[in-house]
Amino acid sequence: MDYFIELFCSGLTRGAIYALIALGYTMVYGIIGLINFAHGEIYMIGAFTSFIVATVLSIYGFPLLAIVVLAGLAAVVWSSAYGYTVEKIAYKPLRHAPRLSPLISAIGMSIFLQNYVLLAQTSDFLPFPTLIPEFAFMEPVAHIVGSTDIVILITTTIMMLILTVVIKGTKVGKAMRATSQDRTMAMLVGINVNRIISVTFIIGSALAAVGGLLIASHIGQINFFIGFLAGIKAFTAAVLGGIGSIPGAVLGGLVLGLTESFATGYVSSDYEDVFAFSLLVFILIFKPSGLLGKAETKKV
Amino acid sequence: MSLLKEMKKGLFTSLWFVFLTFPLMVIKVDPIERVVRWRWENALYVAVGTFLMYLLVTFLMQRKNARAATETEVDADRESFIHRLIASPRQKYLLGGALLAVAIAFPFFSSSYQTNVMTTALMYVVLGLGLNIVVGMAGLLDLGYVAFYAVGAYSYALLNHHFGLGFWAVLPIGGGLAAIFGILLGFPVLRLRGDYLAIVTLGFGEIIRLILENWGEFSKGPSGISNISRPGLFGLELNLDAAIIYIYYLMILFMIVTIFIVNRLQDSRLGRAWIALREDEIACQAMGIDKRKTKLVAFSLGAFWAGIIGVVFAAKTTFINPASFTFLESAIILAIVVLGGMGSIIGVILAALILILLPEYLRALSEYRMLAFGAILVAMMVFRPQGLIANIRRTYIFEKEKSPAEKS
Amino acid sequence: MKLMKTRKFVAAAALMLAISAPVAGMAGDTIKFGVAGAHSGDLASYGLPSVNAAKLVIDQVNAKGGINGKKIEMLVEDDVCKPEVATNTATKLVSQGAEVVLGHICSGATKSALPIYKNANVLVMSPSATNPELTYSGEYPNFFRTIAPDDVQAKVDVEFALNKLGYTKIAVIHDKGDYGKGFAEFAKSFLDKSGKAEVVLFEGVTPGAVDYSAIVQKIKKSGAQAVMFGGYHPEASKIIGMMKKKRLDAAFISDDGVKDDTFIKVAGADAEGAYASGPKDTTKNPLSIKAKEEHKAAFGADPGAFFENAYAATLAMVNAIEKAGSTDLEALKKALQTEKVDTPLGNIYFDKNGDAIGVGFSVYQVQNGKFVELN
């Protein structure tokens, strides 16, 4: 039973990580119907920015709390700026293009950003500073669930709640929902669609940046390629939960994380990804639009 | 007046990019030695670079817009230059013949490196044409196409390794196996649409690769299979240079056969069913087309070409391991189809040549190679979103005097 | 307008062909030294250090007037560690007239490229391709390497774990790559054969995964006293960090891919006490210290993985060219097999298979943030 709980906890952490990145995918998809392959790279840039800022500040002797806050802030600011700029350069000109063109543009952007960080910084792995201390009160259960796991779980929950409130309760959120339902109609009622799309990218990128910071301090290292695999997994999570749905992204992330954890624990980690993808195929066969996705009924 | 305004906007853009690239370009930290290097000169380069880039892009955009505004007629003509060229059969055959002559003569005036690279490009032409059946014609977004390629490659490698089967014997087997896998994938995903289909195919591609990587007893795992024999010429053992040229000609032959078949398919009942399916599934079903069968045939035919090329791939490199069949490979093949202009055969050929030859010829840029490749991919999509040569839809216009004529 | 376009296109195409065409007739003025490996993509961090190493050595040789009056010219080509790209890289290097090649980095890429070099009688020396077949099979007479093959490393580690540390339950973990899995499979077979210890777990982890706690819990459940890991340092530091976090107290024993200063830097305090096998005593070797200082001065950072192996390989090849007086493959092979050369890895020469002799292997332990050699 202990073993089960241990696996369950590691699955939850993994799932929360996927969920944080998946939120950005799902928001962008919901609003412009684009699989934003460069999202993983935005997450990587967030992690890198927080690494640089945190290291510089710690060299200049700032206290830990200030480092965490400033590094987090810098990661959010710059990731959002990158998200915004990427949208303006690579997706906005393609708004009326055939459906697959922005997808290729996104893949190109992903390759570009990876190599940009490789050249501007380094190809090597870098040690990420410990931003989340080991809490003393966690010590009795530390062998099952650590301090970073708790912080990741709590942050993901808070982020999801804030996001839900923003989308359900605010004017911007309303405009976002309107844009995702029908862009032309949204324009007709006076919504500045371009601005709403930019806002979506900014929020999605900010979430990815928070994810980048947390995950990097969880595993303690970064390099320019970390965005790729995390991006693919998060995308899988988003689809699993029903792409376009925010609770769906979180649920999808958790289901994926738990599956991988149990597959590793009870079968073999050789095949953890095989299990993850098989689960995806299996779920989509029975629920073709994901766990929480709306079934599309097409009127003729 | 507007120049001043543009300058101001350019200045603003370059300032934005200086801000954007500041942490990554300017600061470099060494977390162990605890030193910070401030590379201010990089900020200057970024500023100047983006400013010039902005002016260039604005200039190009303005020219494009100006031309679009004043010379719509001429522009439309220019757009369909290639289409008009191939519209007349005589010109088409003349052009095709000339290209074929160049292709046949190619190995004689270039090094074996050039021939080798060109063979790779031709392989991607055929892969692109194969995926074009699935994505371009039938409209099924497939992100795991490389799985079928892997099936073909491994079937040759394993059959050759264990049973000593030759290239020509395995060619149909590899293609057939890949087609069977296509059907296996096709069945469960029949109900899925659009991007859900995309992720399932992506997952399928990854599953195949992971099995090859982990099931060591079967596939020799990550260390791969080496010493796969090259294709023989009526029992003749060829030396390396001759083998390179031989495979090149084989690929030319395969390409011609593929173009012929795909071209015929496009005009066939099946091809039209695919296009109908792509445009509107419901209307298509209402017209009495068996959706299930049509989709499955598209999947398996697309997979068949990938399997064939997989066999050629294994024979050409003589060594394979799972590292060659990653998602990025699928993405590149998909990029070929989209860049070529979904469904357009000439477009796919051109795009494959560009996308595969480009990274090779960009080697001169050494470490900036992939950076440039990514940027060019984005730029090409931004400037030609419909693809290099968009497929024209056949429309028939009934006019009183003329017989039904084709128009773009 | 139309004509202009076509003409421009033709001109551009011609230019492209001209640039890419091999420079003929230049041979003889310089010695062409190819460097091939992963210089972009996910494995770039293993390939780029060897480019730096070759550059450092070659710049020094050229500053002294070159070899036998000839300057060395570097030809750097990327293979992304993919077999199919590696064949293009190899044909390109051969077309450009490369006379010796440092590379490739990955065993798979090396295997696919070697027949092409063999056909052109080009000497190839890899700083990092550890697959045993490369030298043992005898199929690649033009291949040499300055790194020990998988089985040698595995043997050293297994003997150390059994005889010095006396463990009886060992979990063998690898990173699913050709290097890591190769090592792990040998380690497992040596452990099974010895009869002294039980392999309680044999599994691969996905490199680049965001979290390794599940596998660490599984190791814990298996009751292993030690984890033997085959793979590179990024995964090693993630696993060892997670082991500390999950309060799993098992020894960590690994291979040459982990015996890298980056491992200690990234894992920090978690690395303390970990074992890794590597070439004998490089920390006190004056050439090794010098090479690292040169790298620091030239590139402003510590060198990365396989830097010393690449530095040694470049030195060995340069020495062989000098001693042989030509770049003829047979003469070079003879020089490599007979002439000893001082390198950061020690005073080395090569056996008839192509493996380096004199690169003793020993086990290191991380003590106070440094690899300390154990005897």
Judge residue C327's burial from the number of C-beta atoms within 10 Å of its C-beta, 0-12 exposed, 13-18 middle, 19 or more buried: buried
Q: Is the pLDDT of residue B77 over 70?
A: no
- For residue C196, count other CB atoms closer than 10 A to its CB: 13
Counting runs of H as helices and runs of E as strands, what totals does chain B give?
A: 17, 4
Report the residue from A112, A117, A235 with minimal CB separation from B24: A117
At residue B105 the predicted structure's pLDDT band, cuts being 50, 70 and 90, is: confident
**Same domain, yes or no: C94 and C173:** no
Q: How much of chain B, in percent, has pLDDT values that exceed 70?
A: 89
Shortest Cα–Cα distance, B26 to chain A (Å): 8
pLDDT tens sequence across A90-147:
999 888 888 888 888 999 999 999 999 988 988 888 888 888 887 778 777 777 788 8
At residue A40 the predicted structure's pLDDT band, cuts being 50, 70 and 90, is: very high
pLDDT tens sequence across C47-106:
888 999 999 999 999 998 888 888 899 999 888 888 888 988 898 898 888 889 998 888
Shortest Cα–Cα distance, A116 to chain B (Å): 6
Report the residue from B30, B227, B323 with minimal CB separation from C301: B30
Mean pLDDT lowest among B11-25, B61-75, B183-197, C221-235: B61-75
Per the structure, the count of domains in chain C is 2
Which whole number is the average pLDDT over B197-214? 88
Q: Which subunits sit against A, judged by 3+ Cβ pairs under 8 A?
A: B, C
Q: Is the pLDDT of residue A56 over 80?
A: yes
Mean pLDDT lowest among A280-289, B163-172, B320-329: A280-289
Q: How far is CA C226 from CA B263, C198, C241, C256, C278, in A?
A: 62, 11, 15, 17, 18
Interface of C with B in 21-50 (CB under 8 A): 21-22, 39-41
CA–CA dist B360, B350 (Å, integer):
16
Q: Is the pLDDT of residue B174 over 60?
A: yes
pLDDT tens sequence across B108-120:
888 888 888 899 9
Task: Count contacts between A and C (CB, < 8 Å).
Answer: 116
Question: What's the mean pLDDT when you consider all of chain A?
Answer: 88
Interface of A with C in 264-293 (CB under 8 A): 264-265, 268-270, 272-273
Residue C203, domain member (yes or no): yes
- C78 has a chain B CB within 8 A of its CB: yes
Which residues of chain B have a CB within 8 Å of the CB of C91? Answer: 111-113, 116-117, 244
Residue C26 structure tokens: 């230049």
**Same domain, yes or no: C52 and C105:** yes
Which whole number is the average pLDDT over B351-374? 83
Counting runs of H as helices and runs of E as strands, what totals does chain A give?
A: 11, 2
Which whole number is the average pLDDT over A50-58? 92
- Range(s) of the domain holding residue C75: 30-148+285-360
Are residues A220 and C176, on separate chains, in Cβ contact within 8 Å?
no
Are residues A115 and B207, on separate chains, in Cβ contact within 8 Å?
no
Q: Which residue of A has its CA nearest to C300?
A: A122
Per-residue model confidence (pLDDT) at position B400 = 63
CA–CA dist C295, A58 (Å, integer):
26
At residue A41 the predicted structure's pLDDT band, cuts being 50, 70 and 90, is: very high
| Mutation site for A-interface testing, chosen from C81, C210, C247, C258 by largest number of A Cβ within 10 Å | C210
Interface of B with C in 37-76 (CB under 8 A): 37, 74
- C297 has a chain A CB within 8 A of its CB: no
pLDDT tens sequence across A178-194:
998 888 899 999 999 99
Residues sharing a CB contact under 8 Å with residue B35, sequence separation 6 or more, in sequence order: A59, B29
Q: Choose between B391 and C356: higher pLDDT.
A: C356
**Hey, what CATH topology would domain A2-120+153-286 get?**
ABC transporter involved in vitamin B12 uptake, BtuC (1.10.3470)
Which residues of chain A have a CB within 8 Å of the CB of B138? Answer: none
Which whole number is the average pLDDT over B141-145? 89
Q: Which residue of A has its CA nearest to C239?
A: A219
Look up residue B239 and give its DSSP letter. Answer: -
Interface of A with C in 60-89 (CB under 8 A): none
Which whole number is the average pLDDT over A23-42? 88
**Same domain, yes or no: C142 and C163:** no
Are residues A269 and C221, on separate chains, in Cβ contact within 8 Å?
no
Are residues B374 and A108, on separate chains, in Cβ contact within 8 Å?
yes
Report the residue from B193, B376, B385 with minimal CB separation from A97: B385
Are residues C22 and B113, on separate chains, in Cβ contact within 8 Å?
yes
ipTM for the complex shown? 0.89
Per-residue model confidence (pLDDT) at position C1 = 38
Of C211, C239, C255, the residue at which a domain comes to its end is C255
Shortest Cα–Cα distance, A270 to chain B (Å): 6
Question: What's the mean pLDDT when you consider all of chain B?
Answer: 84
Are residues B378 and A284, on separate chains, in Cβ contact within 8 Å?
no
Residue A288 structure tokens: 């073709």
Mean pLDDT lowest among B226-240, B254-268, C114-128, C239-253: B226-240
Q: Which residue of B has its CA nearest to A59?
A: B34
Are residues B206 and A300, on separate chains, in Cβ contact within 8 Å?
no
At residue B151 the predicted structure's pLDDT band, cuts being 50, 70 and 90, is: very high
Q: Which residue of C has its CA nearest to B370?
A: C40
Mean pLDDT lowest among A109-113, B41-45, B229-233, C261-265: B229-233
Are residues C77 and B363, on separate chains, in Cβ contact within 8 Å?
yes
Interface of C with B in 199-238 (CB under 8 A): 204
Shortest Cα–Cα distance, B355 to chain C (Å): 14
Per-residue model confidence (pLDDT) at position B80 = 59
At residue C8 the predicted structure's pLDDT band, cuts being 50, 70 and 90, is: very low
Are residues B196 and A281, on separate chains, in Cβ contact within 8 Å?
no
Look up residue B65 and give its DSSP letter. Answer: H
Task: Report the sign of the C-alpha dihedral through residues B243, B246, B252, B258, in that order.
Answer: negative
Are residues C248 and A143, on separate chains, in Cβ contact within 8 Å?
yes
Are residues B113 and C82, on separate chains, in Cβ contact within 8 Å?
no
Which residues of chain C have a CB within 8 Å of the CB of B221? Answer: 178, 181
Residue C253 structure tokens: 């024993």
- C123 has a chain A CB within 8 A of its CB: no
Q: Which subunits sit against B, judged by 3+ Cβ pairs under 8 A?
A: A, C
Which whole number is the average pLDDT over C108-117? 89
Per-residue model confidence (pLDDT) at position A300 = 52
Which residues of chain C have a CB within 8 Å of the CB of A219? Answer: 210-212, 238, 241-242
Q: Choose between B246 and B192: higher pLDDT.
A: B246
Residue C335, domain member (yes or no): yes
Per-residue model confidence (pLDDT) at position A172 = 92
Per-residue model confidence (pLDDT) at position C34 = 92
CA–CA dist B241, B247 (Å, integer):
10
Report the residue from A112, A278, A284 with minimal CB separation from B378: A112
Per-residue model confidence (pLDDT) at position C15 = 42
Interface of B with C in 84-123 (CB under 8 A): 110-114, 116-117, 120
Are residues C245 and A269, on separate chains, in Cβ contact within 8 Å?
no
Domain ranges of chain A: 2-120+153-286
CA–CA dist B146, B142 (Å, integer):
10
Domain ranges of chain B: 2-72, 110-395
- B33 has a chain A CB within 8 A of its CB: no
**Same domain, yes or no: C80 and C176:** no
Q: Which residue of C has its CA nearest to A124?
A: C45
Q: Which residue of B has its CA nearest to A269?
A: B214
At residue C26 the predicted structure's pLDDT band, cuts being 50, 70 and 90, is: very low
Q: Which residue of C has its CA nearest to B329?
A: C82
Per-residue model confidence (pLDDT) at position A218 = 87
Q: Is the pLDDT of residue A208 over 50?
A: yes
Which residues of chain B have a CB within 8 Å of the CB of A292? Answer: none
Per-residue model confidence (pLDDT) at position A298 = 58
Shortest Cα–Cα distance, A169 to chain C (Å): 33
Q: Choose between C310 and B70: higher pLDDT.
A: C310
Q: Of C18, C29, C117, C16, which is closest to residue C66 (Cα–Cα)?
A: C29
Are residues C248 and A10, on separate chains, in Cβ contact within 8 Å?
no
**Same domain, yes or no: C125 and C187:** no
Query: What does the H/E/C string look like for chain C?
Result: CHHHHHHHHHHHHHHHHHHHCCCCCCCCCEEEEEEEECCCCCCHHHHHHHHHHHHHHHHHHHHCCCECCEEEEEEEEECCCCHHHHHHHHHHHHHCCCCEEECCCCHHHHHHHHHHHHHCCCEEEECCCCCCHHHHCCCCCCEEECCCCHHHHHHHHHHHHHHHCCCCEEEEEECCCHHHHHHHHHHHHHHHHHCCCEEEEEEECCCCCCCCHHHHHHHHHHCCCEEEEECCHHHHHHHHHHHHHCCCCCEEEECCCCCCHHHHHHHHHHHCCCEEEEECCCCCCHHHHHHHHHHHHHHCCCCCCCHHHHHHHHHHHHHHHHHHCCCCHHHHHHHHHHCCEEECCEEEEECCCCEEECCCEEEEEEECCEEEECC
Q: Is the pLDDT of residue A236 over 60?
A: yes
Shortest Cα–Cα distance, C63 to chain A (Å): 28
Per-residue model confidence (pLDDT) at position C19 = 42
Per-residue model confidence (pLDDT) at position A203 = 93
Task: Count contacts between A and B (CB, < 8 Å).
Answer: 177
Judge residue C280's burial from the number of C-beta atoms within 10 Å of its C-beta, 0-12 exposed, 13-18 middle, 19 or more buried: middle
- C55 has a chain B CB within 8 A of its CB: no
Question: What's the mean pLDDT when you consider all of chain C?
Answer: 84
- For residue B237, count other CB atoms closer than 10 A to its CB: 10
Q: For the domain that residue C202 is a member of, what is the CATH number? A: 3.40.50.2300
